[in-house]
Amino acid sequence: MREVDATSDVTLELDDIQAGALYERPSPYVGTYLLLCIRDQAEGRELVRRLHRIANPAGSPDTPDDTSVTVAFTYHGLEALGVPQESLDSFAPEFKEGMAARATALGDVGESAPDQWEKPLGSNEVHVAIAVLSSDQSHLDALAEKARAAQAELPGVELIWRQDCYQLATGRTSFGFKDGIGQPAVEGSGRSPTNPRELPLKAGEIVLGYPDESGELPPMPTPDVLGRNGTYVVFRKLHTKVAAYRSYLRERAATRAEEERLGAKMVGRWQSGAPLALSPDADTPDLGSDPQRNNDFGFADDPRGFKCPVGAHARRANPRDALDHEGSVDVRLHRMLRRGTSYGPMLPDGVLEDDGLDRGIMFVFAGAHLKRQFEFVKTQWLNDGIFIGAPLESDPLVGPHHEETSFTIPQRPIRRRLQGLPPFVVTRGGEYCFAPSLSALRWLAELDT
């Protein structure tokens, strides 16, 4: 089915694009990520044939908001399936290298370094990544079972890792903040922008085979049937040090209200999701939960960051109109779809002691450009402070902090500077994947090399 978006003249082949790569997950959701290793090529192709039957196209009327199965491959996975070398060579260089090889550039050092990662993340054994998400536990179990069954009768394909995830009814993640609000719209997807000030992105920013913001077709793997309607997907398991984060704030705040304010300044939104840009002085839960209003803002009227600090996580990750001046970077070239989910039990409210349990976010990126989207935002905007004129500052919430890392909160009469931020997020591992189209899944299953 070809669907035309009323807001654009782009026709996305929605029947051929995997729903999970293009559309928002349900909310609330439950989900499971499965990683598989292909030890036998013929059985690997048989697995892909079976997965092709359960992966959902974005064009299907009943799946996107409820249940979806998304299938993606690493470079080594495509290699294990016997994809011809000239085709493997045509993928993006970062994808070919894999996430572990990009660790130093990404700031995955020290306790986030690949030699500390959870096994088998970052190893050449990770071939196929499957994400199953649903609004309903019984649907999830049924589908995850189908995905496991697709593999279970194939001894040449091994299930090597599984991670369950879920969303609280409040939509909040382990640090206490509502997540998944700021997202761009994509031309031709049929979904309207939640930020009316941001035009939908050209389809080629997210899906391969269509013009992107530069007006060009992004580099696409060959042959066409393999690349077209596919997208790159990044997943990262990010452990969050919630007790350390709470203690850090508690030591610097005289009251609970001040603690909340400092946390909101770090994120750029209050815990409810209300943006500081619209509600700078206090949380406004009505605003946070209103999808018509909670993403309708810019930063142009707050250049110095008195409302939302220029170093706040969400402002770094999407400076919106703050960089709209001559010679500045084009923010639209660095947008991404995020499909992150929460894992692990929440630390009960008010607890400041670490209970030793693993909790955090499965961060998921989807986009057509690994380098200028995911890697650019991570390295230039989150890990570095040069673009905001503060070279020693990195993202206060998710940055790879070192001893001197500080965070500046512009305020009158004098700014406040939080010093010695410890790292609050540790990378447990991840991978660069490619989520092919439905027709590419068929092509992979039928390879006869």
Residue 269 as a binder of ligand HEM (CB under 6 A): the answer is yes
Torsion sign, CA atoms 130, 105, 108, 372: negative
Closest separation between CB of residue 180 and ligand HEM, Å? Answer: 5
Residue 157 as a binder of ligand HEM (CB under 6 A): the answer is no
Closest separation between CB of residue 30 and ligand HEM, Å? Answer: 19
Tell which one of 23, 363, 407, 443 touches ligand HEM (CB under 6 A): 363
> Which range, of 6-14, 89-97, 346-354, 375-383, touches ligand HEM by CB under 6 A?
375-383
The DSSP output letter for 180 is: S
Residue 107 as a binder of ligand HEM (CB under 6 A): the answer is no
Residue 179 as a binder of ligand HEM (CB under 6 A): the answer is yes
d(CA 347, CA 105) in angstroms, rounded, equals: 31
Reported in sequence order, the residue ranges of 222-359 that DSSP labels E, i.e. its strands, are 231-240, 337-338, 341-343
Tell which one of 233, 317, 426, 433 touches ligand HEM (CB under 6 A): 317
Tell which one of 25, 228, 246, 313 touches ligand HEM (CB under 6 A): 313
Residue 302 as a binder of ligand HEM (CB under 6 A): the answer is no
Tell which one of 19, 34, 140, 238 touches ligand HEM (CB under 6 A): 238
Nearer to ligand HEM by C-beta: 40 or 97? 97
d(CA 428, CA 114) in angstroms, rounded, equals: 8
Torsion sign, CA atoms 220, 222, 228, 230: negative
Burial of 84 (0-12, 13-18, 19+ CB in 10 A): middle
Number of residues that bind ligand HEM (CB under 6 A): 27
Tell which one of 361, 368, 435, 438 touches ligand HEM (CB under 6 A): 361
Instruction: Name residue, tokens 């209300």.
Output: 274
Nearest to 362 by CA among 119, 173, 182: 173
CA distances from 128 to 237, 357, 369, 388 (A): 16, 27, 20, 38
Residues that bind ligand HEM (CB under 6 A): 173, 175, 177, 179-182, 238, 240, 267, 269, 313-314, 317-318, 336, 338, 360-361, 363, 374, 377-378, 382, 397-398, 425
